[in-house]
Amino acid sequence: MDVVLDQLNAPREVRIVARVLGWPFRWLGYEGDPGLPPVTRAITALGPSYIKLGQILSTRPDFVGGDLALQLRVLQDKLPPFPTDQAREMIERDLEIPVDRLFSEFSEPVAAASIAQVHQARLASDHRKVAVKVLRPGIAKAFSKDIDAFYLGARVLEMLSPAARRLRPMDVIAHFDETVQQELDLRTEAAAAGEFKANTARDEGFTVPGVEWTLSGRAVMTLDWAEGVQMADLEAMDAAGVDRAALADRVLQMFLRHALRDGYFHADMHQGNLKVAPSGDIIALDFGIMGRLDEYTRRVYAQILMGFIRKDYRRVAELHFEAGYVPADRDVDLFAQALRSVGEPIFGMDASRISMGRLLAYLFEVTERFGMETRTELLLLQRTMVVVEGVARTLNPHMNIWEAARPEVERYIRENLGPQAAVRDLYRTAQVLSRFGPHLPEAVDAALKRRVQAEPSRADGSRWIGPAWFLAGVAATGMGAAIAHWAGV
């Protein structure tokens, strides 16, 4: 604990609280695996939810230090496994077929993380090599305990710190709870892997293993085996002649492409879930946590990134106000000035010269000053950005984040915010109007009748039928039909 607190330069109050909260674990003798380094041992002892936090920190040597980040990488896929016999029992219980009938070979665990472990196997049918992922026994109960503790902590935080309420701690924990529940059902992960593979099928230099659907269930998932070097193994990549600078750019660009183009992205892209194939392709693994963005959010996100790249801080500020990220009663010019103070010191600078610790601390100050609340719909995106940037910086400490991001952001804006996008939006509007077009006359007629009944009689005995309603209905019906005809709907 002292190592982590010293590395993060934690204030005295935080140190006191951490020691008080850590005292019961010492008293109970909850020491974790003695074969692991002290910090890693402490995190594994606390439970699977804390391991998730450790995995994120392991991608940020610039934040926690190189030595500590290296220790924490154990949490990505090298945790103590559970017995293979137990894994075989879970497979047979879930798939209701003996393991020996499914697989001609079934290895000891080749990787073990907080939620599941992976075995290498060969299919009995065609002897093809596959990866078999099996949930840890009792993992749902362990996560439930962690989540209950988090809810309690969030409630206490909201009660004792009014200033923290803008962070919406209860909503954050609820969002985390929902994400975890998806991870605990491997049928959901198999579906995510299938969708992600379909979305990225044409992405050169990026590979997603295929799912063996007949050998996947709630507690078991079987994927094609992907041969490659773990992205955490820098020495092995160097020995294989991998261009780490180009790979760092591609990791960041692929994340942006999937988030912006598809609105569906891998939200757990630490090194333990990434391999480099002999061909140089990035291989993505573990699809338990996936993120989605609606089209409006993608457009705002892309324009914000482009604003920073072009140093148009005024436009970036306006976008935050338009999207509702900043309360409308705040000053847009002051917010633009604050954004400039964030962007200018890091723009054009290579990653090794940027202190993420100081930057994140200042960003927190800015959000507090302008009353910005936590947006739960953006949590996975923000978390993944931190992880992906950390992975990229580990591969190439001197990369320029903005220059690497520019091609994908420009491509998205060119395809989705120009004249072509306007025509496409008009076409989609026409499709919607054409579906509801047959109902519009009835809807307008009903509205007019309600209006007539509600309005008092005029002096000449007639009633005011609301020409605005009438014109709106006619315009909507006619425009919808015209556009639909023009668009070929």
Q: Residues with catalytic annotation?
A: 268
DSSP string, 175-233: HHHHHHHHHT-HHHHHHHHHHHHHHTTT-TTEE-PPB-GGG--SSEEEEE----EETT-
Contact 323/433 with Cβ under 8 angstroms?
no
Q: Which amino acid is present at 437?
A: G
CA distances from 441 to 450, 462, 470, 476 (A): 14, 22, 10, 10
Retrieve residue 297's tokens: 């959010």
Q: Mutual orientation of helices 356-369 and 332-343 as an angle, nearest 10°?
A: 180
**Helix (H, G, I), strand (E, B), or coil: what is residue 469?**
helix
DSSP string, 303-361: HHHHHHHTT-HHHHHHHHHHTTSS-TTS-HHHHHHHHHHHHTTTTT--GGG--HHHHHH
Gap between the Cα atoms of 428 and 296, Å rounded? 14
Contact 479/436 with Cβ under 8 angstroms?
no
Q: Which amino acid is present at 232?
A: A
Gap between the Cα atoms of 378 and 296, Å rounded? 12
